[in-house]
Structures are given as C-alpha cells and as structure tokens.
C-alpha cells in the first residue's frame, strides 16, 4: 500500500514546507511547523464534504451585480457596528475568544433576534440539546424559526444544512467538527482547516451567513492554523476579563467594513446587554481631585471614546526601577518616561512607574501620549490635574506636542460628556471648532503642558 503523502506547514502563517524545521522560514516562529496528510485531489465536481462545485467562466468586473450583497441587522447595534453596518448575506464570520468569555451567549442572543424574520440553524458540538434549551430559556430565547442540531460530523452537518435551507448557521465550535475522510482527531490543524473550507464553500454557493465559534490558545490567537483567519470574511475577537462585567468585541479582519470599530457589552444575569455609551462606563467611579489620573479621547474606528489613564509613581528600592503598564504599550510607556525625564525635568530614573488604563481598554494610538505623561507627572508631584480636564496629543522625542487626526470629533465628544477644559496641540493648519462652554488650552511643548496642567517645575 502506498504511503500517504504528507505536508508540513506553519500554524502561525500557513507557509508550507517540504520538511520539518524548528523555525518557520516565512514568519520566524519557533516550533510552529506541523505535519498532516495532504488533501486528496477532488474529482467528479465534488469535494470531500459533498458540495457541488459550480464551474464558472471569467466575468468582466463591470458586469458583476453587487446589489445582491445585502445586509441584515443582528439585533445588537454594537455587533452591527463592528460588522460594518450589519451581517452580509453569504459571509463567513469567525468569532474568537477565551473559554467562558460569552461567545456562545452573544450568538444565541443574536439568534433570538433574527429568528423572528429568518431561519436559523444552531449547530452545537459542545452541548446537548437539553443544555442549549436551558441556556436559551435563561436568556429569553424561545420563539421564532430557530432550529438546533447536535452533531460533530461534517458530512451530516452539511446534509442537514442542505435539507433545512437556513438563512443563518451557527457553528459552536469549529474545534469539535471532524471529517471522516481525514485520519486525525477533531480540533487538529488538518480538521479545522478542512471543515472551515467546506463551510466557506457552502456559504458562498448558497448565500448562507455562517458564524463560527473558535477558541483561542494561550497566546490569544485562534486555535488552529493561521490560514483559518485568511479563509473567513470577518474575524471578531471577544475580549475581556471573566471576572469583570464588561466585554469588548473587536474586528481583527473585515472584508465589508472597518477593522477599527469596537462594540462594548455588559454581562448581566440574563445575558449580554449593549453599552451604547462606553465613555460614561469607562469614566464611572472616578475619585474627585485624585493625583495620578488624566482623561484622554481616542478613536475606535469612527467612534470617539474617553478613557481614564492612571499612574502611580513611587521611589524605587531596586537598582533598576520597575516599570509596569496595562492598556498602554510597554515600549511606548518607557519612551514617554524617558521623554518626561529629559524634556520635563522630572527624575523618573529613581522611581518605580505603574501605568493602567481603566476598564481594560488598550490604547494603541499616539493621541494618548499627552494624557499618559500628565498622569505620570501628576502622581510624581502628588498634585491633581483636575476632574474637568482632558488631554489629547502626541508627544515627540524632543518634547513637542503634535496634532492628531479627527481632533474636532474628539473635542465634540469631550464637550458632550461635560468636561470644561481640553489640552490640545498648538493649532497650525488645523482649525479647531470649539463648542460653547469648553475652554481649549493650546500647548506647543511638554513643558507648556506640564505648567498648564499641574504647574510642575524642573528639578535641579
């Protein structure tokens, strides 16, 4: 009997190689090369999942009809925002997140909303039908065209999809599915890749919207090959602490919209509830006149969000001062501390620095630089900035304060939430639109910002 052909490829980037290597030559990841059986050739117009592959000739792009690409609302405004305005018919959406974060809860509640107008098939391989029913009753999901299939065999699932002809399919989860023609266990690299490919073909050929639940590994990425993310249309990550009430839905990939949008949810006893105004949520519980805190405004897609940055500066008892940051990139925080010492005159090299963003939000844009430095300086001199002050601006290595994008949208959000002062970069070509009742404090350098916010003086 001929030996089955095998291939090696990287689980991080999907690069195939002819032999095993300790390090992937494409992405440089270590111990990511795995071996699996090569897919057999497809003959007779069908693949291993039993799908009819329609042969089509080339078409001039001007003749392609795009009016058929319709969207439908999911019942969650926050989810619709992240998807780009609603779910697209015939799309394949991957929802990833840590176990217990609320992925299945979100999709089951979504099914309760759309089942009133569309036929939904919920395929579960992790729960029994009784368990799913009990969870649906707790979430208030009981009516509509919602059907449940407890199955893990890919062939049987595809047959049921063909017979039921649903509009929306939920797969919970992709790691439990298996194809009988592949000699490996469910959840392996080969099984996950093959099952996702079959689901993608049935979604495109029949116009069915499919949501796939995918678990994440200890590094925080979708378990399975990285090519899994390349095959789907949208990759959504459900983030948050299981012990905290709030969850953040973020798009890592979206062929039909922006990848910078986020949706905020709150976990309650009866399921997930939308948080339409996350700025108020992130700013709730602030102490009055507390040193070491400053508010900034960041853009998540088209949505301005106000976030509180806290800092704690204490004299160090070590030879090398300790640096800890949560929500702010560690390297960026170290850079800002160096700028503050060199250009601001505050001796940070003799102090431990702890920086945190309240609410678990990750601030990745440079607009939060100024607020981070002001929070650190406020804690260093033990003097509050003020509860009605917001700081927006990028800080350069020479201590200059640079302008950021969408500044007028940020200023409008600052005024809407009742703040009275906003520290912004000195206006150059940008024309600020100042709402009535809001005072803009324009600064050109870091020393100007420190003097205007807390009156910090240079140490000798």
The pLDDT, as a whole number, for residue 398 is 94
- Whole-number pLDDT of residue 245: 75
Topology of domain 71-276 in CATH is Rossmann fold (3.40.50)
Q: What confidence score (pLDDT) does residue 42 get?
A: 43
How do the domains of the chain map onto residue ranges?
1-38, 71-276, 281-453
pTM of the predicted model as reported, rounded to 2 decimal places: 0.74
pLDDT at 219 (0 to 100): 55
| Residue ranges of the chain whose pLDDT lies below 70 | 1-4, 12-14, 36-56, 66-69, 217-227, 242-243, 429, 455-460
Please state which architecture CATH assigns to domain 281-453: 2-Layer Sandwich (3.30)
**Which pLDDT value is given to residue 24?**
85
């Amino acid at each position: 009997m001929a030996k089955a052909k095998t291939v090696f490829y990287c689980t991080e980037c999907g690069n195939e190689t002819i032999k095993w290597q300790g390090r992937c030559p494409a992405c440089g990841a270590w111990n990511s090369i795995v071996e699996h059986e090569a897919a057999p050739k497809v003959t007779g117009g069908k693949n291993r999942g039993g799908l009819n592959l329609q042969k089509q000739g080339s078409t001039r792009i001007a003749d392609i009809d795009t009016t058929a690409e319709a969207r439908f609302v999911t019942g969650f405004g926050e989810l619709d925002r992240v998807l780009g305005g609603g779910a697209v018919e015939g799309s394949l959406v991957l929802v990833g997140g840590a176990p217990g974060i609320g992925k299945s809860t979100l999709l089951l509640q979504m099914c309760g909303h759309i089942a009133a107008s569309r036929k939904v098939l919920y395929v579960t391989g992790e729960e029994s039908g009784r368990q799913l029913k009990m969870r649906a009753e707790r979430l208030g999901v009981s009516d509509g065209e919602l059907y449940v299939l407890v199955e893990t065999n890919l062939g049987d699932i595809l047959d049921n999809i063909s017979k039921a002809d649903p509009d929306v399919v939920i797969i919970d989860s992709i790691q439990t599915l298996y194809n009988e023609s592949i000699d490996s266990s469910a959840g392996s690299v080969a099984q996950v890749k093959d099952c996702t490919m079959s689901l993608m073909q049935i979604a495109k050929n029949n116009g069915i919207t499919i949501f796939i639940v995918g678990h994440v590994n200890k590094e925080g990425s979708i378990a399975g090959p990285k090519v899994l993310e390349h095959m789907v249309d949208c990759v959504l990550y459900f983030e948050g602490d299981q012990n905290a009430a709030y969850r953040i839905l973020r798009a890592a990939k979206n062929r039909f919209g922006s990848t910078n949008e986020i949706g905020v949810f709150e976990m309650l006893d009866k399921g997930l509830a939308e948080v339409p105004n996350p700025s108020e949520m992130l700013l709730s519980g602030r102490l009055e006149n507390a040193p070491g805190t400053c508010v900034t405004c960041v853009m998540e897609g088209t949505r301005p969000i106000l976030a509180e940055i806290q800092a704690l500066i204490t004299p160090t008892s070590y030879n090398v001062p300790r640096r800890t940051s949560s929500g702010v990139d560690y390297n960026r925080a170290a850079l800002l501390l160096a700028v503050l010492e060199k250009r601001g005159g505050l001796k940070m090299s003799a102090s431990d620095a702890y920086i945190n963003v309240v609410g678990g939000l990750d601030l990745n844009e440079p607009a939060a630089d100024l607020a981070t430095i002001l929070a650190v300086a406020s804690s260093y001199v033990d003097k509050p900035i003020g509860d009605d002050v917001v700081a927006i601006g990028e800080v350069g290595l020479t201590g200059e304060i640079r302008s950021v994008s969408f500044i007028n949208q940020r200023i409008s959000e600052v005024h809407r939430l009742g703040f009275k002062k906003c520290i912004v970069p000195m206006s150059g070509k940008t024309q600020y639109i100042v709402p009535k009742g809001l005072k803009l404090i324009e600064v050109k350098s870091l020393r100007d910002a420190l003097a205007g916010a807390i009156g910090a003086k240079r140490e000798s």
